A and B are shown apart, each in its own frame.
Chain A
Amino acid sequence: KQEVTQIPAALSVPEGENLVLNCSFTDSAIYNLQWFRQDPGKGLTSLLLIQSSQREQTSGRLNASLDKSSGRSTLYIAASQPGDSATYLCAVRGTGANSKLTFGKGITLSVRP
């Protein structure tokens, strides 16, 4: 059974810091990994999608890497801003025909002005 872990559960940093959010998963047989952002009381917004054959994806100040063999992904946020404050979730899609999208519990990020 796939398990996705995100540690720590919460993180507080001063504005301007570069930071790394970690995600680990137990079963390396995945199709892809996706990072989402969730603002309080809102749905999920997709940030980056990495296919199993890819090593990283970039969008603006965000960079996500994937090391499938070790079961790890990182989301790098450059020059953090207060507007980056949100909960960040990673999710993996297994390779089985009926595999589900499995989520971590998320990391709640607070960027202090």
Chain B
Amino acid sequence: GAGVSQSPSNKVTEKGKDVELRCDPISGHTALYWYRQSLGQGLEFLIYFQGNSAPDKSGLPSDRFSAERTGGSVSTLTIQRTQQEDSAVYLCASSSHKTGLGGYTFGSGTRLTVV
């Protein structure tokens, strides 16, 4: 597609439920990032996929968080047993080159609210 697409745009879930957030990067982009932005905070790195390499998961805050990228394209971020502190905007970005040569394009984000 023309841009990075994220769905859903908004998600309200009950504490303890699992949620899945989806990111559809720009076609052909090999690099994909997930970031989290809590209210009034900066962007917190979560996970980075580059081509077929093993993902960099160093930013995932707990083992309740996981992500996968199927076929080098669509990525899903899963949060199990959601907690109120998971409430944030989850942003996805993709880039055409592993070094980010062409810059990064961000999606509009998924606003997650855990009640």
Residues on A lying within 8 angstroms of B by beta carbon are 31-32, 34, 36, 41-46, 49, 51, 89, 91, 93, 95, 97-98, 100-106
Contacting A32 at CB < 8 Å: which of B35, B98, B103, B109? B103
Chain B residues with CB under 8 Å of A95's CB are: 99
A39 to chain B, nearest CB (A): 11
Identify which of B12-20, B41-49, B60-68 touches chain A: B41-49
Which residues of B lie under 8 Å from residue A46 when comparing CB positions? 103-106
Shortest distance between the CB of A6 and any CB in chain B (Å): 9
Q: Which residues of chain A are within 8 angstroms of B45 by Cβ–Cβ distance?
A: 100-102
Which residues of B from 21 to 52 have beta carbons under 8 Å from A? 33, 35, 41-43, 45, 48, 50
Name the one of A31, A34, A41, A43 contacting B99, with C-beta atoms under 8 angstroms.
A31
Using a CB–CB cutoff of 8 Å, the interface residues on chain B facing chain A are: 6, 33, 35, 41-43, 45, 48, 50, 53, 56, 59, 91, 93, 98-109, 111
The 4 closest A-B pairs by CB, nearest first: A105-B42, A49-B103, A43-B108, A44-B106
Q: Among A51, A97, A101, A106, which residue has its beta carbon within 8 angstroms of that of B104?
A: A101
Residues of B with C-beta under 8 A to A103: 35, 42-43
Q: A100-B48, A106-B42 are in contact. Are A93 and B100 (CB under 8 A)?
A: yes
What is the minimal beta-carbon distance from A28 to any residue of chain B, in angstroms? 16
B100 / chain A contacts, CB cutoff of 8 Å? 31-32, 34, 93, 101
Residues of chain A with a CB closer than 8 A to B103's CB: 32, 34, 46, 49
Contact B106 A43 (CB under 8 A): yes
Would you call B91 and A44 a contact (CB within 8 A)?
A: yes
Closest beta carbon of chain A to B65's beta carbon, Å: 16
Q: Nearest CB to that of B31 among chain A residues?
A: A101
A-B contact pairs, 11 of them (CB 8 A): A31-B99, A31-B100, A41-B111, A43-B109, A44-B93, A49-B103, A91-B104, A101-B45, A103-B42, A103-B43, A105-B42
**Who on chain A is nearest to B109 by CB?**
A43
